[in-house]
């Protein structure tokens, strides 16, 4: 079990989206949840998003996985790294590292990225639009962080797959050791080089951009066939210039657009659907044959658990806890199923122990449906 040695609440009020900082010994007696070999194994999987970056003699190379075993054959002892995105979706041990951050909202959480670097390996100076906690695992890594980007950092194109910037003046320049955490808010340039074989775990948070909200809302409106109407304005008056858009017509059209954004129920549903979709591939496998409600009930009664797919988002609006948004779909639970709703959204697994009363048949029916969709699963090994 991973535990932070500091108060996340105090950290948030002091640093979150304000200042980068290093928390020495953010984890006490840190143990890596994964080995470099296991991580290399993940880069060979088709579904897993991975990258390899090398910078021997300052010549940058970068490529996307999946890789074959010979990729790792004669790499030499320095200046390369490989990176796995959303490692929490594919490695249960690594997913444990996200646990201490679960008092922050899941919709903001993006993924756990893990990188393995040998001496001199890194991805070069760059700026991210993410908030990230970079946890140092095995080995030591030298990090430099500059002042917030106010448009002064020039981009350089050493490789089309890398978004690097020119070097920058450091406001943080330090060596991370196992268990240390570097927090970097969006917009602060940074650069980290391994000093010896090193594992880094980046717990990343990302909020939607304004333009993503607009474009996703447009998709939502189309998918639900809302607003399939033209402007209806019977009181048209003649005008002296054919080309003029009258202020009155502009106001009517603007109103039409704003009406769509003014419906709080629609916006709430849209936000729930959008925010409940993971930005990274999920390990969803539909069971075959499907489970019957009876077998699910027996499974739970025998004291076994049903696990949630790692990274799956089951969200609810604070004032409407019975409406669950699961991976972009909305599911309405009855008021009597409040306990189930809280468990589905807030917990990694279901078991009879977690319920204060015997699990009711409509709850079993819903769980069965979620298992048959592949959102929750029974590990039969």
Residues found near ligand SIN in the complex (CB under 6 A):
81, 83, 115, 122-123, 128, 190, 192, 200, 202
Pick from ligand SIN, Co ion, none: which does 115 bind, CB < 5 to 8 A by kind?
A: ligand SIN
Instruction: Select 128 or 362, whichever has its Cβ closest to Co ion.
Output: 128
Q: In the bound complex, what is the minimum distance in angstroms from residue 257's beta carbon to Co ion?
A: 37
Q: Which candidate, 80, 39, 44, places its Cα nearest to that of 64?
A: 44
Q: In the bound complex, what is the minimum distance in angstroms from residue 132's beta carbon to ligand SIN?
A: 6
d(CA 226, CA 220) in angstroms, rounded, equals: 9
Pick from ligand SIN, Co ion, none: which does 65 bind, CB < 5 to 8 A by kind?
A: none
Residue 146 contacts by C-beta under 8 Å, 6 or more apart in sequence?
153, 168, 169, 170, 171, 188, 189, 190
Buried b (16+ CB within 10 A) or exposed e, 250-267: eeeeeeeeeeeeeeeebe
Helix (H) or strand (E) holding 204: strand 198-205
For residue 210, what are its two tokens?
Answer: 């304004």
Q: Which candidate, 204, 146, 198, 202, places its Cα nearest to that of 177?
A: 198
Footprint of Co ion (CB under 5 A): 128
Residue 92 contacts by C-beta under 8 Å, 6 or more apart in sequence?
310
Instruction: Select 83 or 371, whichever has its Cβ closest to Co ion.
Output: 83
Pick from ligand SIN, Co ion, none: which does 139 bind, CB < 5 to 8 A by kind?
A: none
Pick from Co ion, ligand SIN, none: which does 79 bind, CB < 5 to 8 A by kind?
A: none
Q: Calculate the CA 288 to chain-centre distance.
A: 29
Q: In the bound complex, what is the minimum distance in angstroms from residue 326's beta carbon to ligand SIN?
A: 30
Pick from ligand SIN, Co ion, none: which does 202 bind, CB < 5 to 8 A by kind?
A: ligand SIN
Q: In which order are the strands placed within the sheet that holds 141-146?
A: 170-176, 141-146, 190-194
Q: In the bound complex, what is the minimum distance in angstroms from residue 40's beta carbon to ligand SIN?
A: 15
Instruction: Select 176 or 343, whichever has its Cβ closest to Co ion.
Output: 176
C-beta separation of 79 from 119 below 8 A: yes
Q: In the bound complex, what is the minimum distance in angstroms from residue 135's beta carbon to ligand SIN?
A: 10
Instruction: Select 111 or 324, whichever has its Cβ closest to ligand SIN.
Output: 111
Q: In the bound complex, what is the minimum distance in angstroms from residue 321's beta carbon to ligand SIN?
A: 35
d(CA 343, CA 305) in angstroms, rounded, equals: 12
Instruction: Select 187 or 374, whichever has its Cβ closest to Co ion.
Output: 187
- Report which residue's Cβ sits closest to ligand SIN: 115
Pick from ligand SIN, Co ion, none: which does 122 bind, CB < 5 to 8 A by kind?
A: ligand SIN
């Amino acid at each position: 079990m991973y535990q932070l040695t500091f108060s996340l609440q105090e950290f948030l009020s002091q640093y979150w989206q304000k200042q980068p900082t290093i928390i020495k010994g953010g984890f006490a007696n840190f143990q890596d949840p994964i080995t470099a070999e296991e991580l290399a194994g993940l880069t060979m999987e088709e579904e897993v998003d991975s990258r390899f970056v090398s910078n021997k003699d300052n010549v940058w190379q970068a490529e996307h996985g999946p890789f074959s075993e010979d990729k790792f054959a004669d790499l030499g002892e320095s200046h390369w790294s490989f990176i796995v995105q959303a490692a929490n979706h594919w490695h249960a041990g690594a997913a444990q590292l996200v646990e201490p951050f679960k008092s922050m909202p899941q919709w903001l959480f993006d993924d756990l990225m893990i990188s393995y670097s040998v001496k001199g390996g890194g991805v070069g100076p760059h700026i991210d639009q993410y908030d990230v906690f970079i946890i140092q695992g095995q080995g030591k890594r030298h990090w430099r962080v500059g002042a917030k980007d106010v448009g002064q950092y020039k981009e350089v194109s050493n490789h089309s797959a890398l978004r690097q910037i020119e070097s920058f003046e450091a406001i943080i320049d330090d060596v991370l050791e196992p268990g240390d955490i570097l927090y970097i808010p969006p917009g602060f340039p940074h650069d980290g080089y391994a000093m010896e074989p090193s594992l880094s775990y980046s717990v990343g948070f990302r909020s939607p951009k304004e333009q993503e909200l607009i474009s996703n809302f447009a998709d939502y409106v189309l998918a639900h066939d809302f607003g399939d109407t033209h402007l209806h304005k019977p009181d048209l008056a003649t005008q002296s210039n054919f080309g003029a858009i009258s202020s009155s017509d502009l106001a009517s059209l603007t109103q039409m657009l704003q009406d769509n954004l003014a419906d709080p129920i629609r916006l709430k549903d849209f936000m729930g659907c959008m925010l409940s979709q993971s930005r990274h591939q999920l390990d969803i496998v539909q069971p075959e044959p499907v489970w019957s409600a009876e077998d699910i009930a027996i499974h739970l009664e025998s004291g076994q658990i049903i696990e949630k797919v790692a990274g799956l988002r089951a969200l609810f609006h604070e004032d409407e806890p019975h409406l669950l948004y699961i991976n972009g779909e909305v599911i309405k639970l009855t008021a009597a199923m409040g306990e189930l709703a809280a468990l589905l959204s807030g917990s990694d697994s279901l078991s009879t122990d977690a319920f204060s009363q015997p699990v009711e048949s409509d709850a079993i029916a819903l769980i069965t449906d979620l298992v048959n969709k592949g959102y929750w699963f029974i590990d039969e090994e």
